[in-house]
Structure 1
Amino acid sequence: MSDNDQYKRLIKESLKNIRKAHDENYLSIFAGAGISAGSGLPSWKKLIDILAKEIYGVEKNEDPLVLAEKFFNENGHINYYKKLKNLITSRAKPNVLHSEIVKLNPKNLITTNWDNLFEQAIDEEGMFFDVIKTDTEIRTPTGWPKFIKMHGSLDRENIVFREKDYLEYSQNFPLIENYIKGVFSTDVVILVGYSLGDPNVKQIISWVNFHSNNAKQDRGQNGVKTIYFIKTNAAFDPIEFRFYENKNIHVLYLSEFFDKKAENENSGHESELKNFFDEIKKEKRYDTAFVLDSEEIREIDNILTHFDFSALSKKIDDLTIFKNASFKNELLKCFLLFENHTDDKDIEKIHPLYRKISKKLLKIES
């Protein structure tokens, strides 16, 4: 079997692992600047080229983090943020990739982007996330999936961009850093919208290697789950693949899987990613028959019309017996518990059940 054939089999197996993680709620997605490029915002490389011209008058091949530091020194805090906000405007609108990622409803959606496009997509799609832009905000979870802007946000003027910001990251974002490091041992992680040379990816890889080495020392095994790096508009490169495989990162070249030639690079990037997100949502095994049949409707109607609380309690008990209740029965149980509640304490007990069922519903609707 050729390398390409073996690789195509690996992609199919990887998609099964990713689907399982999604359905069982241990999928985390890291999203980079490539996701926002379709909204007209500059890519990482384009941003660096713009800043180099701002400082030197020409593009310059220089360490991007050092260049950002020089840009800050030349402009000062106020003008630094003013110019960056002009380049990464808050007037930009989310594109289909923001929406598709949000609708996946992952356990954690983590971005190194500073823009507000994911926040807009969350609002537009009616989704519920804990939005975390600063270190202190991670202390007050609500039980929803987390959307973490791990490199800060332009509206908070706390972004990570300069060399100094990366060097002092552990001091400025200790809680976010520790949380994200933990994600690599508990979740299947996808990196999307990045280039392999992106300093943000290098930071993530260094965390993975550090965590992996510590796990081997502590438990004699690798405590990090496989990480998938998504690459679009690119043919399978076996040397590159093996290089990153040694770092516990599987590069998924989507062109090899979907085997479709795009009209141009941008359309290929978007169409391959959209197909990939659609693949993740396939083969869900939830019971989506939410509607009660006529006999069930008559039974519930009779109980509620005659205020038969004894029958109501029995019905709730019957629904509780089943360990793997259908989605419809879980919804019905929540409704009947609400109808049967007597005080605020009962509501406090019912609320976690509603929250759990709502999260399932959001996954199905997406």
Structure 2
Amino acid sequence: MSEHEGHLFIVHGRIESVIHDAALVPVDQAYDFNSIWTPLVGGRPPLPLQWKERGYGRIKPAPDRVWAVSIGNGLDRYEDVLDRIIGALQRIELRRDAYPPKRGPGTLPLVAVPVIGIGRGGFGGDRGSVLRMLVEGLTRAARELRLDVVLVSPDPAVFAAAQYARRRLTVKLPPRLETLARELGTAARSGQLAVLMGAGVSAAAGLPSWHGLLEQLERDAGITYPDPTRLPNAIDRAELIERHDKTRFQKRVAETVTGVHHPSLLHALLASLDCHEVVTTNYDTLYEQAVRATDREIKAVMPWNSAHGAARWILKLHGDVEHVRQIVLTRRHMVRYDAANRPSAAVLQSLLLTKRLLAVGVSMTDDNVIRLAHEVQAYRDEHQQGAHGTFGTVLDTDGDDIRASLWAGQLDWVKLEAESGVPGRRAQELFLDRVADHAARDSSWLLDQRFEGLLDRDEDRRLAAEVRDLYQRIPHSPGDKWTPLVQRLEELGASSGDLIRAPRVEGQRDFR
């Protein structure tokens, strides 16, 4: 891991589902953009400078820093498309001063890139080779140009195939972090990982931290303190703010939080894990947005919806922007919390006892979370469960030695900066990217002939062809004894062969 070397991230989602400093989008020979890019490029933008010579360029004006890459002009080789993509990245690197990282100190500019060329670009029949070349090219460019690049796709097969293509190129983490990333990824893949998200995840999207939120509310209310070095604790500060404007306090909190509309890279990486149980102290809906960008749904937002039968749910411990009157921030709210929300608290405690919990963006200073965790530890001690190890993992970006000592034996406290040599926030992103790699569970690309270019060995290609042939010979009648095998082979992509030369449809999903 290096703080100076760029990195290729891969997430399941869409460009607009992750905050970025610049983005590349494809456009055809006639300079007609697919309608899915309208939020990024606006209406019909003018041609960039030197468009005909380069085949790429920055779009002006545009709602964001967007660079167009032409996939037309008679390009027969994907290498030529890749040259244009790399050329755009080089121009972005030359304009580095114009792209201060939105993710904050210790990070590099982040460029979002879809899988260009597999839709109307004409290379959809050879997705495996496209992904191999694209991943290799983006990895090399990120390292050489000192840019972070995030490759995004809403298609689960393309996302999983891109992860596979990257594995041979990945620089592993330091040994303990690599082992931990593999353990957490394995737990996610088997459905045994739950996530606890705190303010640090949303702060990476531009929302204020807990203390930053209080400072903003204090400024709005005109509250000052005689000695700024001797402030009350956070709970008392919130109580004073509420007393200043009791009727509108919670609404003002919600208004402050709703000012950010794009999830952070952390949100996108966590959504890529596809954990079915998530708990958060945050009020925003950014994680839900990141999940929807994967074409999955969170079926229940607790405590307002029942999670019965829901494949995925999120528990908002302290309320959210859509339920303003239930936002928890002050001492009065905390005192009333147990009586009003004990069942919700029990849900978190159940996860601590039954799942592997990953805490991200959490400082373990929240009074409610601390109390609930201590009750779980007391239960474990009473029933001699301590020998089973810790009940969760905390990713610490600040190097908090005191809290690490306080939670020793209960939480695996990972001081990311000390263990990686990389600034904490960036180390957190790099670590979660490795967890997501190990967690990738979709194999629907494996028997899909369009991805054959990812299979390096003749033996693997021959075996895949034999299994596809077997799929064609097995009876496909509903309810037949072979139905379970048919379904499993279809999950591995055996039924996708008919799509290899299918005509492309305007707006089809794989254009991203």
Q: Same fold (TM over 0.5)?
A: yes
Task: Output the TM-score relative to the length of structure 1.
Answer: 0.71
Which residue in 2 is equivalent to 1:242?
405
2:300–2:307: 8 Å Cα contact kept in structure 1? no
**SS of match in other structure, 2:245:** helix
Which residue in 2 is equivalent to 1:357?
none
Which residue in 2 is equivalent to 1:172?
340
Which residue in 1 is equivalent to 2:378?
213
Cα separation, 2, equivalents of 1:107 and 1:224:
23
Partner residue of 1:259 out of 408, 421, 429: 421
Task: Figure out how many residues of one structure are paired with residues of the other and give that number.
Answer: 297
Q: 1:185 to 1:296 in 2, by over 3 A?
A: same
2:359–2:394: 8 Å Cα contact kept in structure 1? yes
1:33–1:193: 8 Å Cα contact kept in structure 2? yes
Deviation at 1:283, TM superposition (A): 4.1
**SS of match in other structure, 1:35:** helix
Deviation at 1:23, TM superposition (A): 2.1
Greater CA drift, 142-151 or 175-184: 142-151
Which residue in 2 is equivalent to 1:339?
none
More helix by share: 1
Percent of matched pairs sharing the same residue: 19
Deviation at 1:287, TM superposition (A): 7.8
Cα separation, 1, equivalents of 2:432 and 2:404:
22
Deviation at 1:151, TM superposition (A): 0.9
**SS of match in other structure, 1:39:** coil
2:238–2:330: 8 Å Cα contact kept in structure 1? yes
Cα separation, 1, equivalents of 2:307 and 2:439:
31
Cα separation, 2, equivalents of 1:127 and 1:258:
33
Greater CA drift, 8-17 or 81-90: 8-17
Which residue in 2 is equivalent to 1:364?
none
Deviation at 1:52, TM superposition (A): 3.5
1:108–1:147: 8 Å Cα contact kept in structure 2? yes
Cα separation, 2, equivalents of 1:279 and 1:45:
30
**SS of match in other structure, 1:190:** strand
- Post-superposition CA distance 1:164-211 (Å, at most 9, x none): 111121222222111111110111112211334x3x2x4323212212
Alignment of 1:270-289 (within 5 A): 271-283=426-438, 288=443, 289=446
**SS of match in other structure, 1:208:** helix
2:492 matches 1:329: no
2:299 matches 1:299: no
AA aligned to 1:226 is F
Q: Which structure has the higher relative contact order (CA within 8 Å, separation 6+)?
A: 2
Q: 1:108 to 1:287 in 2, by over 3 A?
A: closer
Deviation at 1:152, TM superposition (A): 0.8
Deviation at 1:295, TM superposition (A): 1.7
Q: 1:315 to 1:118 in 2, by over 3 A?
A: same
1:185–1:224: 8 Å Cα contact kept in structure 2? no
Deviation at 1:277, TM superposition (A): 1.1
**SS of match in other structure, 1:155:** coil
Deviation at 1:9, TM superposition (A): 5.7
**SS of match in other structure, 2:290:** helix
Cα separation, 1, equivalents of 2:206 and 2:441:
37
**SS of match in other structure, 1:211:** helix
Cα separation, 1, equivalents of 2:421 and 2:313:
34
Deviation at 1:258, TM superposition (A): 3.0
2:191 matches 1:25: yes
Q: 1:254 to 1:295 in 2, by over 3 A?
A: same
Cα separation, 1, equivalents of 2:328 and 2:296:
27
Cα separation, 1, equivalents of 2:370 and 2:180:
19
Which residue in 2 is equivalent to 1:80?
249
Which residue in 2 is equivalent to 1:313?
480
**SS of match in other structure, 1:50:** helix
2:401 matches 1:231: no
2:240 matches 1:101: no
Runs of 5+ in structure 1 lacking a partner? 1-7, 263-267, 321-326, 336-366
AA aligned to 1:95 is S
Alignment of 1:197-212 (within 5 A): 198=365, 200=366, 202-212=367-377
Runs of 5+ in structure 2 lacking a partner? 1-173, 449-463, 496-512
1:131–1:147: 8 Å Cα contact kept in structure 2? yes
Deviation at 1:332, TM superposition (A): 7.7
Cα separation, 1, equivalents of 2:385 and 2:204:
41
Cα separation, 2, equivalents of 1:112 and 1:23:
25
Q: 1:93 to 1:286 in 2, by over 3 A?
A: closer
2:250–2:327: 8 Å Cα contact kept in structure 1? no
Cα separation, 1, equivalents of 2:442 and 2:272:
19
Cα separation, 1, equivalents of 2:191 and 2:217:
40
- Post-superposition CA distance 1:335-362 (Å, at most 9, x none): 9xxxxxxxxxxxxxxxxxxxxxxxxxxx
Cα separation, 2, equivalents of 1:287 and 1:92:
29
Cα separation, 1, equivalents of 2:250 and 2:405:
40
2:229 matches 1:63: no
Partner residue of 2:281 out of 101, 112, 117: 112
Cα separation, 2, equivalents of 1:258 and 1:123:
32
Cα separation, 1, equivalents of 2:408 and 2:300:
32
AA aligned to 2:368 is Q
Which residue in 1 is equivalent to 2:48?
none
Alignment of 1:331-350 (within 5 A): 331=491
2:212 matches 1:50: no
2:40 matches 1:40: no
Q: 1:186 to 1:9 in 2, by over 3 A?
A: same
**SS of match in other structure, 2:480:** helix
**SS of match in other structure, 1:56:** coil
